[in-house]
């Protein structure tokens, strides 16, 4: 198969593009998100990296856009996984001349392994991934706020967005689904830093191909706690439905983006001062519970 633009050998069959035109195609998708940020070149962006293909693809792609950027890796204390991921991120940062910040979740008094143990004992009802996601969001936001960043960039791709829309609709949580967007501006008075998802229009397959074509070394191991993640289940189900209805996920995305946006009512946590829907934020509550049972 030949590239539909230049006639060279195609590497991406879905769009019939050669390597060069595929990379350009992905860059344009990222540009579509970044164009929505006013005066991007003056902004300080903190890139949340995990060592996986998506976050390193994002960091690789963002090198081509003007603005001040640093990486943040959170070592979650997941056995045989977090340290390996940290090594990969350190190597990537060195090779691509990025300033890397590393934060350990254990500095906050617990690890994701502790969350898993507490969940096994029935001390925590939520799934490990849900607490892990919460801890990551909390640390990315607080680190960005304390270090004067304008945005946190996360590597959620289009396939993640479709799964998010699917879960929101499946559970009837339309408010949650309506907040799906490539950019969320943040609120300084609540110590809430803005969010960008540069890969919002890039599919998982495209992100993987980009990483492979650019020889990005990423973590291939799967997190030992990933099995029960509802996101993963949603992706598998969507892929099955899309075998028969190829546009199902895209249409879901269009649908949730048309839902009336309902802002979450936020206040600041009485313990840590970061945004919360209740008097004490969820992160502080989890932290207190785990410390009590440590």
Q: Which residues form the interface with ligand SF4 (CB under 6 A)?
A: 112, 128-129, 132-133, 223, 225-226, 229
Which of the choices Zn ion, ligand SF4, none does residue 225 contact, using the CB cut-off of 5 to 8 A by kind? ligand SF4
User: Which of 23, 59 has the CB closer to ligand SF4?
Assistant: 59
By CB atoms closer than 10 A (0-12, 13-18, 19+), residue 12 is buried
Residues 193, 142, 85, 89, CA torsion sign: positive
User: Which C-beta is closer to ligand SF4: that of 98 or that of 225?
Assistant: 225
Spatial CB neighbours of 134, under 8 Å, sequence gap ≥ 6: 282, 283, 286
Residue from 85, 180, 256, 269 that binds Zn ion (CB under 5 A)? 269
Contact partner at residue 132 from ligand SF4, Zn ion, none, CB < 5 to 8 Å by partner kind: ligand SF4
- SS3 state at 60: helix
With CB cut-offs between 5 and 8 Å by kind, which of Zn ion, ligand SF4, none does residue 21 bind?
Answer: Zn ion
Give min distance, CB of 5 to ligand SF4, in A. 37
Q: How far apart are CA 78 and CA 53, in angstroms?
A: 18
In angstroms, rounded to a whole number, what is the distance separating the alpha carbons of residues 76 and 112? 6
Find which of ligand SF4, Zn ion, none residue 281 binds, CB within 5 to 8 Å per kind.
Zn ion
Distance between CA atoms of 192 and 269, rounded to whole angstroms? 12
Residue numbers of the site for Zn ion (CB under 5 A)?
3, 5-6, 8, 18, 21, 269, 271-272, 281, 284
């Amino acid at each position: 198969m030949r590239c539909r633009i230049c006639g060279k050998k195609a590497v991406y069959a879905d769009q019939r593009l050669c390597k060069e035109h595929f990379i350009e195609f992905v860059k344009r998708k990222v540009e579509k998100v970044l164009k929505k940020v006013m005066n991007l070149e003056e902004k300080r962006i903190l890139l949340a990296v995990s060592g996986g293909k998506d976050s390193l693809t994002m960091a690789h792609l963002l090198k081509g856009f003007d603005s001040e950027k640093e990486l943040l890796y959170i070592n979650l204390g997941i056995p045989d996984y977090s340290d390996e991921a940290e090594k990969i991120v350190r190597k990537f940062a060195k090779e691509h001349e990025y300033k890397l910040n590393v934060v350990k979740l254990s500095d906050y008094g617990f690890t994701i392994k502790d969350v898993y143990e507490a969940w096994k004992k029935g001390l925590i009802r939520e799934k490990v991934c849900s607490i892990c996601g919460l801890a990551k969001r909390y640390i990315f936001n607080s680190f960005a706020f304390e270090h004067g960043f304008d945005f946190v960039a996360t590597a959620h791709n289009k396939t993640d967005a479709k799964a998010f829309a699917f879960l929101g609709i499946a559970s009837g949580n339309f408010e949650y689904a309506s907040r799906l967007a490539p950019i969320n501006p943040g609120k300084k008075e609540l110590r809430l830093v803005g969010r960008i998802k540069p890969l919002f229009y890039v599919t998982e397959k495209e992100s993987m191909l980009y990483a492979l074509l650019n020889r990005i070394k990423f973590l291939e191991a799967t997190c030992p706690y990933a099995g029960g993640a509802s996101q993963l289940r949603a992706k598998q189900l969507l892929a099955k439905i899309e075998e028969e209805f190829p546009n199902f996920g895209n249409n879901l995305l269009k649908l949730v983006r048309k839902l009336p946006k309902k802002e979450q009512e936020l206040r600041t946590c009485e313990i840590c001062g970061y945004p919360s829907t209740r008097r004490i934020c969820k992160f502080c509550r989890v932290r207190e519970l785990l410390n009590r049972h440590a």
